[in-house]
Structure 1
Amino acid sequence: MAAAFRAGVMCAQVSGAAPGRVLKALARAPQARAAVWRRSSGVRRSSALLDASPAGLPRFGAIKAEDVVPAVTTALEEFQTGVAALNARFGGAAGDGGRAAPTVAEAAELTDAIERLYDPLSRVWGAVSHLNGVAQTPELRAAYEEVQPRVTEALTRFSQSVFPALAAVRDAPGVLDGLDGARRRVVELNVLSAELAGAGLPEAEREALTALKVGVGAAGSRFTNNVMDAVTPQAFALDLADAADVAGMPRSVRAAAAHAHEDEAATADAGPWRFTLDASSFMPFMRHCRRRELREHMYRSYVAIASTGDRDNQPIIREILAKRRQVAALLGYPNYAEVSIAPKMAPDAATVVALLERLRDKCYDAARTELARLHAFAVDGGYDGGDALALWDVPFWSERQLEATFALGDDVLQPYFSLPRVLAGMFATVERVFGVRVVAADGDAEVWHPDVRFFHVEAAGSGERVASFFLDPYARPGSKRGGAWMDVCVSRSSVVGEGLRLPVAYLVCNQSPPVGGGDALMRFAEVETLWHEFGHGLQHMLSEVDVGLVSGTSGVEWDAVELPSQFMENWCYHPPTLRAMTAHVETGEPLPNALIANLRASRVHNAAMAMLRQLFLARLDLALHMAPAEADADAAAATLDDPFAVVHDVAARYTLTRPLHEDRFLCQFMHIFSASYAAGYYSYKWAEVLSADAFAAFEEAGLDDDAAVREAGDRFRRTVLARGGAQHATEVYRAFRGRDASEDALLAAYGLQSHAAAPSASASVSV
C-alpha cells in the first residue's frame, strides 16, 4: 500500500527535475533549496527580499520597492514548481488511479512537505506586507498592489490542489489518530481551509470562487490605501494659531500638535498647532478641546474619512459584501458569517448573537444611567447644548468627569509613563509571571526605521534564547497604517531548515512620538495597547510547538487569539506593577498610591458605555455579513441592503446616541473590510470573556503571592501560550482553567455584577 501511494511520484517530471529531488530539497538548508530551484525554474534572482540576513531575518536596510515584483515573482515560481512536485508525490485520494491509503509516516511527510513549501513564500510575502503597513511609499504601494492578487490566487489554488491528499489522510482508518497532535491539527485545519477555498467544487465553480477571493483581496487593499491617504495632513489638517483654541489641552497634546505642524518654529506654548484625523491626534483633540464647534468639525470630518472623491470606499464596501455573498453561495453556506465562523471557536453565528445579546442586556440600562449622569455633570459644568450630549460632546465631558471624579487626566498621568519605564515594568512582570527575561539587542537585526527597537527573549534561569521581537512604537501618518498589531516575522519550527528555528515577532503600535528630545510620554490607553500587543507577542514567542504551521498564533481559532493580549492588559491595574512601570519624568517618583487607587477605580468609569460601543460594532459586523448567500453576481449586488441603513438598524438597539445620518464610519472600518475580522469582530468580546476568567485564576491564587503567581503563570504558559494552534482553543482553555470560561468575571470587571462564587452554568463560552 505504501509503495502504491509513493508510485505516483517516481515517474513524474517537473521542469526537468525529478519531483523526489525537489521534495528532498524542500527539507534541506536554504542554500541547497535555492540550487534546486535554479535547476527547476531557471535562474534565481538574488535580492534583499530573497536572501535573508545571517540571522535569518529580513534585510530591511537593503530592501527596495523595485525588489518587490521580481522577488515575489521568483518566490511564486518556486512555490508553483514545488506545488507541482508535491501534488505529483502525494496527489489524489485513496482509490484514485490505484493509489493506496497513506500510512502514518507518509501523512507526517505530507504535512512537513507543505510547511517546507509554504515557508519561503510566506517569508518573502510577509516582509513585503509588513513594509507596506509600516513604511509605505507610493512605489511600494504600487508594487504591492501589482503582486497581491497573484499571491492570493496562488495560495487559494494550492489549498484546493492539496485537498485530495489531505482528505486521504483524514479518511484513512487510524492514520489521523496515529499522527502527533500538531500534525493532526495541520491536517484538520488545512482540510477545512481547503474546503473553504473551494476544494471539492466542480472546476467552474472553483475557478469562480478563486476569482472572488482574489477580487476581495484586491478591493481590501484599495480600501486600506484610501483610509491611509485620507488621514494624512495633505488630506485634512486643522491648523490653529490662536492660543484660546487650545486652552486647557495638556501640554503633551499641544507639544505633539506643534511638532506635527510644518512650521519648524512651532512650540507647545506659542503654536501654531496642527491636528489631523489620525487617531493619535484626533482622539486627544476630542477629549480636550474646549471649543465645541471645533470638536463638531473634527467629528464630522472623522466619520467622513474615505467616503468622498477619489478615496471613496463606499463602492468598495458594496463590492466586498456582494462578493462575500457569492462566496457563501458557492460554498453552500447560508451567509458569509457562517463561512467566517466555520474555523473559529464559536460554533455558529446564532451562538455569537446570543452572547452579544446577553451582554447587551447586562450593560444597556447601566450605560443609559452612565450617560444621564454624564449629561448632568456637563450641565453643571456649563454645557448648554440641549437635553442630550452630541456625539462630539461625549469624549470631552467624559474626560472632564474622569478628572473631577478621580483626579486623573493626561497631564496628571503622562509624566509618569515614559516608554522606557513602561517597557522595563512590563518586562519585569513577564519575568515574574512566566520566567522569561527580555534583553535589548539593538543592532542584531536590520530595521525599517530608526525608531524601531529589537529585543531577545531568554529563559530567566539559563539565559537560553527562546525568541526575539521588533518593536515599532510611534505613529507615522502617511507611511504607517493606524492601529496596533502583532505579526509573525519568523515562526518557531523544527521542520524547516536544520535544527530548531526560534520565533521572531513584529510588535507595532501608533503612540505619540517623543517631542523636545525627551522620552516619549504615554497616555494610559497607549500603555494598555502596548501590553495588549505584547500579549499577542508572548503567544507567538513562547510557543513550544515545533511544527510551524500551528506554532504560536498560527492555527489558533480567531475568536480565541485575543485571549493572551487582553489577559495582559489586566496587569496594568495591579498596584505593584504600576509602581514598577512608572517614574515621574522630573522627580523619578513612582505613581503615588492615591493615583493608583483612583486609576483602578476609574476602570469602571463609563465602562458600560464602552462595552455597548464594542457590542454595537460586533453586531453590526455580523448583520452586514448575515445577508443571505447569493450566487448570481448581479443579484448579489442589486439585492444587497444599503450598508449604511444597516448601521442605523443595528444602532437602534445597540447605541444610546444614534449615529449622524451622514455617518460613514464604515468607510474606515478596516478590521472587517481589509483585515481578518469579517464577521469576526465579535472575537474581541468572545476572547474578553476568556481573558477575564483567566485573570480571575490569578486573582484567586493571590496576585501578590509570588509563588502562587508563578504557579498560575507556568500553567498559563504551558497551555495558552505554549500550545499555539496545535490543539483546539476550547481544549487549551479547559487544560488551563479546568472548565469552560464564565462571563461572570468579565461582568464583574465592568462593574456590572459582583464576582460570582461559582461560574454561571448558563453563561459560559464553549463549543
Structure 2
Amino acid sequence: MGQLPNNLPSFSNFDTKELNQQIDSFLKSARETIQEVLKQENYTWDNLMLPLEDMDVELGKVWGLASHLHSVKNSPELRDAYNVAQPKISEFYTELGQNTELYDAILSIKNSAHFEKLSIGQKTLIENSIRSFKLSGIALPEMERKRFAEIAKELSSLSTQFSNNVLDATQNYHLQIQDEKDLAGLPQNVIDAAAACAKSKDLEGWVFTLDFPSFQPLLTYGESRKHREEIYHAYSTRASETGPNAGKYDNTEIIDKILKLKQEASKLLGFEHFSQKSIYTKMATSSQQVLGFIDQLIEKSHPQSLEEIEAVKKYAQSKGFSDELKTWDVGFYSEQMRQEFYDLNQEELRPYFTIDKVMNGLFELASKLYGIDIVESSDKPDVWHEDVKVYEISRNGETIAAFYLDLYARSDKRGGAWMNGCLSRHKDAQGQLQLPVCYLVCNFMPPAEGKPGLLIHNEITTLFHEFGHGLHHMLTKVDIAGIAGVNGVAWDAVELPSQIMENWCWEKDVIRSLSQHVESGEVLPDDKIQRLLNAKNFNSALAMMRQLEFASFDFRLHIESAKDDFKGAQQVLNDVRKKTAALATPEWNRFQNAFSHIFAGGYSAGYYSYKWAEVLSADAYSLFEEEGIYNEATGKKFLNEVLERGGEEDAAILFKNFRGREPQTEALLRHSGIK
C-alpha cells in the first residue's frame, strides 16, 4: 500500500476558540483572491476558474472540519462558535453568487472560442457556475438582490436552529424502566445496552433513549405496550409543542419561517414555488413529472399496503390482542408475525455478523467489482474518537483514496447514517493532485466492553449504502473538485451508487462472506439465509408507502406553501396521509418537526430523490443480474460510466451509457415484491 494523503485534518489540534478567527482570516484572503483574479482581461480556465476552485477547496478544509465535528463531536462551545461562523460562510457564498463582475467574467469564457477547447468536465463546471449565479439572484435589481442575500443568511441560521432543536429534544429525553418484567421480549444485548445507558446516567434499572439503536428494539420486541406507546409518543413529538418536552425545543415556528423564506426567494427568481426551483438542478424535468412519479408508485403500492396491515391486524387478534391496532403496535406484531411465518428473528442473526467480518466481506466485494484493495491504515492518523478507524484504498499498489469509519452511536453525535466528503479529488494550479477522502458515519449499537460490534441485517444494508456513496466520492477520476465524486451530481441521481450496493446484501454468496458466528466461527447456515431472503419483502408495500408519504409531503408542502390559502405543514401532511397511510396516525404525531432531511439538510422538495434513484439503482442492478452479480465487465462499466465520472456529465446521459437505455420502474417493483 502507499501512504495516506499528507493533508488530512488534525482533529486533536482543532480549537473551537480559534474557529471564527480562522474563518474571518480565510474569508478576507478569499475576497482578496477574487479581486485579484478579476483584474485580468482575457479570462481562461487557468487564470479564473482554477484559482476559484483552489480557493473553494481550501475553504472546504477549514469549514468542513468544523461542520464534521459539529455532527460527530458536538459540544456547547463548538455549537456557539459554529452558530457565529455559519452566517459568515453563508454570507460569503451569497455575496459570491451575486458578484456581477465575477458572473460576467465566467460568462465571457462560456462565450469565447476558448470554451470549445475545454474538457467536458471544465465545460460542465462553467455551466454549473452560471446556473448557480442565476439561482443566487444575479439578475435581480439591486434591492431585490440585497433581500435575496438576507433570506439566504436567515435560512442558513434557521436550518441550524432546527437541527439543534432536534438534537436537544432527542438528548433531553429518556425512558427509565425499573421493573425487570417490563423488559419481556427484549433481546439480551438490548437489555445489556439499556443497563449500561442507565449506569452512564447514574440511574437505577434500564434506560432507553431516542437514539435509533435504543428505541427501535423496544418498539419491535418489547411486550410492554405501555412502554412502546410511551417511547413512540416521545419520538414522534420531538421538537414540537406537544410531548415530553412540550414547547421547549419547538420547531413549529421555524418550519413556518423556513417555508415563507424559501417561497419568497423562489418568487424573486421567477419560480412559481420552491418545488419548481428545486428540480431546476435535478434529473427530473418538471413538478408534474415528480408528482406523477410519486403518485404512480402510490397507486401501485397502496392496495398491497392495505392487505399487509389487515394481515397484521388479524395476526394480532389471533394472539389475543383485542384493542384497536395502533402505530406503536405495528412493529411489534409485524416482528412476531415475521418470526412465526418465516422463522426469522433479526436479533438472532446478530451474533453471525461481527463488524470485522462484515467489513472484510464488503471490501472483498468492492475488490471483485472494481479492482481495488482496502486495508486499515498502519499510519495511526489523528481521529476524533478512539472508535474511529481509517482505511486506505489502492489500485495496483498505489493509494487512490482513504476514508474514516465512525460506526457507533454516542451522546454528542447526531443520529442517522451518512457519507461526507473530507477532501475532494482536485488538481490545483501547481499541478498537485489532492486525493479524495471521506467520512463514513453510522449510529450502530456500541459493543459491550471487550466484545466485538455485532450487526443485524438491516444495519448491514445501511453500511453498504453509505459505502456506496463513499465509492462514488473516492473512485472518481475527475480532477476538478466541484464535479468530482458526488459533487455536482443531480440530487435525484446521487443515491444511485449507494442504493445499488444494497442489492448485494441480499445475495446468498455475499451473505455467507459477511457471516461468522462470534463464538463458534460458523458461517450463517443456508436455511437461515433462505429464511432471511424469504422475509425480504415482508410488509414491503408498507415500507414503500412510508417513504412515498415522506416524498409526497415534502414535494407538495413546497408547492402548497406558495398558495394564499396555505393552512400549514400539518394540514398538508394530514391530506397526504389520507392517500398513503394504511393505519391512522395519531393526531398528536409531529413527524415534520424532526424532518431534518428537508428543513436542515439538502432534501427540500427533493426527498422523492430516494425513490427516483431507487428506480435507477434497481434497473442498473438488473444488468448485474443478467450478466452475473460479480461480472467483471459489468462492474468495470459501472465504474467507468458512473463512479469515475462524478458530476462531469448529465446523470441521465451517464445512466444511459451504462444501461444502454432509459430507466424503467419494473425492476424496483420486482425487487420490492410489489405485485
TM-score with structure 1 setting the length: 0.85
* The 10-residue stretch of structure 1 (301-310 or 672-681) with the greater mean CA deviation from structure 2: 301-310
Q: CA deviation at 1:197?
A: 0.7
Contact 1:334 1:628 in 2 (8 A): no
CA distance in 2, matches of 1:241, 1:68: 44
Aligned match of 1:11: none
Query: Residues 496 and 305 (structure 1 numbering): CA distance in 2 closer, same or farther, change over 3 Å?
Result: farther
Aligned match of 2:329: 393
Q: CA deviation at 1:411?
A: 3.0
Letter in 1 for 2:333: W
Matches within 5 A, 1:383-422: 383-386=321-324, 389-422=325-358
Q: CA deviation at 1:62?
A: 1.2
Residue 168 (structure 2) pairs with residue 229 (structure 1): yes
Aligned match of 1:243: 180
Deviations 1:333-373 (A, max 9, x none): 00001111111111121111111111111111111111111
Residue 113 (structure 2) pairs with residue 207 (structure 1): no
2:647 partner SS: helix
CA distance in 2, matches of 1:66, 1:54: 27
CA distance in 2, matches of 1:176, 1:290: 67
CA distance in 1, matches of 2:202, 2:362: 36
1:151 corresponds, among 86, 89, 103, to 89
Contact 1:328 1:629 in 2 (8 A): no
1:488 corresponds, among 421, 435, 440, to 421
2:536 partner SS: helix
Contact 2:46 2:429 in 1 (8 A): no
Aligned match of 1:73: 24
Deviations 1:221-269 (A, max 9, x none): 000001111111xx11111121111111111111111121136899xxx
1:626 corresponds, among 540, 544, 559, to 559
Contact 1:467 1:503 in 2 (8 A): yes
Residue 450 (structure 2) pairs with residue 517 (structure 1): yes
Residue 656 (structure 2) pairs with residue 734 (structure 1): yes
CA distance in 2, matches of 1:602, 1:647: 30
Contact 2:409 2:443 in 1 (8 A): yes
Q: CA deviation at 1:497?
A: 5.0
CA distance in 2, matches of 1:86, 1:129: 29
Residue 279 (structure 2) pairs with residue 341 (structure 1): yes
1:272 corresponds, among 195, 199, 205, to 205
CA distance in 2, matches of 1:383, 1:193: 57
Matches within 5 A, 1:282-431: 282-307=215-240, 308-386=246-324, 389-431=325-367
1:449 corresponds, among 362, 378, 385, to 385
Deviations 1:251-310 (A, max 9, x none): 1111111121136899xxxx8211011212111111011111111111111111011333
2:505 partner SS: helix
Structure 2, unpaired ranges of 5+: 241-245
Aligned match of 2:243: none
Deviations 1:408-438 (A, max 9, x none): 2133110111111110110011001111111
CA distance in 2, matches of 1:244, 1:672: 40
Q: CA deviation at 1:609?
A: 0.5
Matches within 5 A, 1:68-107: 68-89=19-40, 106-107=44-45
Q: CA deviation at 1:640?
A: 4.2
Contact 1:289 1:295 in 2 (8 A): yes
Aligned match of 1:725: 647
**How large is the Cα RMSD of the aligned pairs?**
1.7
Aligned match of 1:122: 60
Contact 1:322 1:640 in 2 (8 A): no
Aligned match of 1:63: 14
Aligned match of 1:676: 602
Aligned match of 2:407: 473
Aligned match of 1:539: 472
Residue 460 (structure 2) pairs with residue 527 (structure 1): yes
CA distance in 2, matches of 1:264, 1:585: 29
Query: Residues 203 and 237 (structure 1 numbering): CA distance in 2 closer, same or farther, change over 3 Å?
Result: same
Letter in 1 for 2:425: R
Deviations 1:592-628 (A, max 9, x none): 1011111112111100110001000000001111136
TM-score with structure 2 setting the length: 0.96
Contact 2:5 2:435 in 1 (8 A): no
CA distance in 1, matches of 2:611, 2:665: 10
1:117 partner SS: helix
CA distance in 1, matches of 2:10, 2:621: 39
Letter in 2 for 1:433: L
CA distance in 2, matches of 1:529, 1:595: 21
Deviations 1:445-491 (A, max 9, x none): 210111111000011xx2111100001101112x1111111011111
Q: CA deviation at 1:108?
A: 4.9
Q: CA deviation at 1:134?
A: 0.5
Aligned length: 665
Letter in 2 for 1:428: E
Letter in 2 for 1:224: S
2:674 partner SS: coil
Give the number of the structure whose alpha-carbon radius of gyration is greater: 1
Residue 592 (structure 2) pairs with residue 652 (structure 1): no
Aligned match of 2:127: 188
CA distance in 1, matches of 2:130, 2:640: 27
**Higher relative contact order structure (alpha carbons within 8 Å, sequence separation ≥ 6):** 2
